[in-house]
């Protein structure tokens, strides 16, 4: 009888991922990183993370970014912005990369929130 292979890495996720294709906006949050605005489509997401594919090669493990998810337009009042950390960057075929983000905290810009206030997700 064939045995089922063991997982190569232990499962670290606390929340299940849902396959969801929604636009997001990603920008570096650190001044030392070259500024860019990436507008990929998510592959999957959970309460604490988002995974997407991109052609941009400037992502690296540990990079801090601002993420707006889902993203409709820069002036949409329903946008929710997060501070996130890049957990993994995987090379994919055709010069693309898979990027896994861990959402660290929500940044609230609403009129009912004092300037500079952030909340942990």
* Domain ranges for the chain: 18-120
Question: In 38-70, which positions are buried (b, 16+ CB within 10 angstroms) versus exposed (e)?
Answer: bebebbebbebbbbbebeeeebeeebebebbbb
- Look-up of token digits 């001044």: 31
| pTM of the entire predicted model | 0.78
Count each helix (H run) and each strand (E run) in the chain, helices first.
Answer: 0, 8
CA distances for 14 relative to 56, 82, 115, angstroms: 28, 19, 31
Q: In whole angstroms, what is the distance from residue 49 CA to residue 84 CA?
A: 8
Q: In whole angstroms, what is the distance from residue 72 CA to residue 95 CA?
A: 26
Task: Write out pLDDT tens, residues 68-96.
Answer: 999 988 888 888 899 999 999 999 999 99
User: Per CATH, the architecture of 18-120 is what?
Assistant: Beta Barrel (2.40)
Give the pLDDT of residue 91: 96
45 close to 82: Cβ distance less than 8 angstroms: no
Per DSSP, helices labelled H in 8-121 are none
Asked if the model's pLDDT at residue 3 lies above 60, the reply is no
Give the pLDDT of residue 5: 44
Express as a percent the part of the chain with pLDDT over 70: 76
- Look-up of token digits 């009888």: 1
pLDDT tier, 116 (very low <50, low <70, confident <90, very high otherwise): very low
Give the pLDDT of residue 89: 97
């Amino acid at each position: 009888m064939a045995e089922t292979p063991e997982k190569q890495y232990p499962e670290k996720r606390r929340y299940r991922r849902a396959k969801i294709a929604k636009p997001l906006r990603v920008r570096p949050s650190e001044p030392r990183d070259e500024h860019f605005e990436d507008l990929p489509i998510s592959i999957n997401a959970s309460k604490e993370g988002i995974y997407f594919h991109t052609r941009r090669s400037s992502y690296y493990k540990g990079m801090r970014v601002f993420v707006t998810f889902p993203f409709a337009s820069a002036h949409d009042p329903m946008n929710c912005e997060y501070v996130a950390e890049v957990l993994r960057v995987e090379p994919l075929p055709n010069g693309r990369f898979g990027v896994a983000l861990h959402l660290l905290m929500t940044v609230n810009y609403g009129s009912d929130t004092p300037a500079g206030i952030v909340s942990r997700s």
